[in-house]
Chains A and B, each alone.
Chain A
Amino acid sequence: MSSPIRILLSALLVGLALPVSAQDIFAEVRDDRGEVVQIAQQPQRVASLGVFGADMMLALGKSAVGTTTYNGQLPAYLGARPDTMADLGIEPQPNLERLTELQPDLIIGIRRYTEPWADSFAPIAPYIAYDMLTEADSTRAVSSVAVALGAVGTGEKLNAEFEQMKAQMAEQAPGGVSAVFVWLWQDTLYAYYDHVMPASFFSPLKVRNTMGSNPTPELPENFGGPVSYEDILAQDPDVLIVFRAEGNAYPDHPALRRLRAVREGRAWHVGYQYSQPAGPVARKIILQEMAHLLYPDVFADPALPDQVRAEPLRFEN
């Protein structure tokens, strides 16, 4: 038998030996659970458990069919309305009935919240989950989800653009600034270590995070810790970035008013996107805004809608 005929026959035999389902697979991705997830067809109806999936769809010029919310509130930066994007409840306990009704063909979730529900998602649609705490997590998730959505190469492109923007900012950032990123709950301050987004953006911007690094690096999910007002007063950062959930009261503690950042008008209350910064849109606008808040003379104020942009920290009285 001549060589070309032999090759042709071999190829035919290999083709016949492949299972039908393998031929039908549209994409195959490995998520942060270590699961290899096969997606049969290009997803058209993506359900986002956590904001990342919706953010990723926005980056691709599309829209998720539903997302989890904070008490019914959609993140303003997504520009979504409740009538266009269904409310799927809260991240730790998504509304499975609503999720089923939506008939999604892909479910994207934050691993630490949604993994316990993986078995419940299986009959509804393929489910992929990511850690989304650090910049490396974000990079990995963007690449992987882009493949799952059929935008092969787009994930790498988004990541490369972000890295390029970060590198340019790093060149321009003069340094010599200290800052801290805190959550405020009642009178408890909770500050982020520097391995977790968005506090991790301090490093490329040559900013010293006064909270420092994770004392237990073997536990990357140890993303922050409570700080006393005396601690924060001793740290006295140049810039204070505060995430205060929408609808919660403004702070009213004498130690906060004494901080240099507050006295000099460099304490900021930032928007919802800072609570889930892993998406390609969120991380970009956060980095641009943080650069401006940290170095207002060097970086221009990014053009953001009013509901999204940071506001000077206000006090109750």
Chain B
Amino acid sequence: MTPDDPKQRLILPFFLLTLLLILVCAVLTLTQGRFATGLADLPTALLDRAEVTDTGFAVRQLRLPRAVMAVLAGAALGVAGALMQAITRNPLADPGLTGVTAGAAFAVVLGFTLLGVSQAGLLVLGTVGGALSGALTFALAAQRGFNPAHLILAGVAVAAFCLSGINVLLLLGATSMNSAWFWLVGGLANRTWQDVGHLWPMVLPVLVLVWLTSRRLDLLLLDDDTSRGIGLHAGRWRLIFGLCSVVLTAGCVATCGPIGFIGLLAPHVARMGLGGAVSHRLLIPASALAGAAILSVADALAASRLIFPTEIPTGIPAILIGAGMFLLLFRNGLRVGR
């Protein structure tokens, strides 16, 4: 891309616009709730370190971690989606394709219904479950040299196995199906600093690692023979980036439940916002911001009670927004790769 490239002119507006959207949604999240909080009350509430008032407690302990989680999880899912689309060379790939989403959800449901694992334990169990499912998918795909088609097939099989396991556990377990369903749709309500503390150590280092090595993602879009010709070990890098996607996704599912569509949509929104195919050096941060913005908007909508009189799981507006934007993208023609 040259300085005169029209795409160059779109970079700054796209990044500023997504940041602004995230900020607006964060303010909405911080001011919405049962304890009335105007914009003017926000600084006082945020500085109420002793949490003397319920408003101070609600803003600091309930709404702020929720807004932070939307950014962290959205960014993680956005980047995980970009990684999966690159390593499978498939524009319809999303992080769930490795079976990690279903695996993490299965582990959480298992921990809750049968093992009686604590909230903190569930976060660890969900992450481990997702990572194991992802690892199983990659182990199966490794037998065929990490061929993208076989990776997808292995992921579909692992995901199907885990999803059927969830159904069995819900039928056997001593649980209210309604409440279980609420969690399985995915959401950010009731998240705490404990969840943030679990997620950020997994997300931030991986995002930095992926960004620093993102040129390899561009090369992975070439066919394997060409990659080999220029000295890139495509299978190894596919495994590394795949595992990065697994870690990002497993952490998100363990903390927020299986929120759909963000990982699939965010890279496409980033490409559309940046005017088309761009290097992964740009696409990775752009996907992170797009994912964070989409999830922030979805969560602000979920908490606003504009759609239903009661709060709904974030996963529902996320899917509604995702489906609408995806149709728009289809009309403009999906682009794979960069």
Please list the residues of chain A having a beta carbon within 8 angstroms of any beta carbon in chain B: 70-71, 73, 90, 92-93, 183-190, 215, 224-226, 228-231, 233-234, 245-255, 258, 316-317
- Interface pair B171/A92, CB less than 8 Å apart: yes
- Interface pair A254/B174, CB less than 8 Å apart: no
Residue of A nearest to B57 (CB): A258
- Interface pair B174/A71, CB less than 8 Å apart: yes
Question: What are the residues of chain B within 8 A of A190 when measuring CB–CB?
Answer: 176, 178-179, 182
- B309: min CB distance to chain A, Å: 7
A92 to B120, CA, bound (A): 31
Question: What are the residues of chain A within 8 A of B214 when measuring CB–CB?
Answer: none
- Interface pair A188/B179, CB less than 8 Å apart: yes
Does residue B205 face the partner (Cβ distance < 8 Å to A)? no
- Interface pair B190/A253, CB less than 8 Å apart: yes
Given the contacts A187-B119, A248-B116, A225 and B310 also touching, CB distance less than 8 Å: yes
A190 to B122, CA, bound (A): 20
Please list the residues of chain B having a beta carbon within 8 angstroms of any beta carbon in chain A: 33-35, 54, 57-58, 61-63, 108, 112-114, 116-122, 171-176, 178-180, 182-183, 189-192, 194, 309-311
Question: What are the residues of chain B within 8 A of A185 when measuring CB–CB?
Answer: 112, 175-176, 179-180, 182-183
A185 to B112, CA, bound (A): 8
Question: What are the residues of chain A within 8 A of B182 when measuring CB–CB?
Answer: 185, 188, 190, 226
A246 to B175, CA, bound (A): 9
- Interface pair B62/A229, CB less than 8 Å apart: yes
Given the contacts A185-B182, A248-B112, A258-B57, A71 and B34 also touching, CB distance less than 8 Å: no
- A235: min CB distance to chain B, Å: 8
Question: What are the residues of chain B within 8 A of A187 when measuring CB–CB?
Answer: 119, 183, 190-191
- Interface pair B120/A316, CB less than 8 Å apart: yes
Question: What are the residues of chain B within 8 A of A183 when measuring CB–CB?
Answer: 176, 178-179
A229 to B120, CA, bound (A): 18
Question: What are the residues of chain B within 8 A of A234 when measuring CB–CB?
Answer: 34-35, 54
Question: What are the residues of chain A within 8 A of B194 when measuring CB–CB?
Answer: 252
Question: What are the residues of chain A within 8 A of B57 when measuring CB–CB?
Answer: 233, 254-255, 258
- Interface pair B58/A230, CB less than 8 Å apart: yes
- A21: min CB distance to chain B, Å: 39
Question: What are the residues of chain B within 8 A of A224 when measuring CB–CB?
Answer: 178
Question: What are the residues of chain A within 8 A of B112 when measuring CB–CB?
Answer: 185-186, 248-249
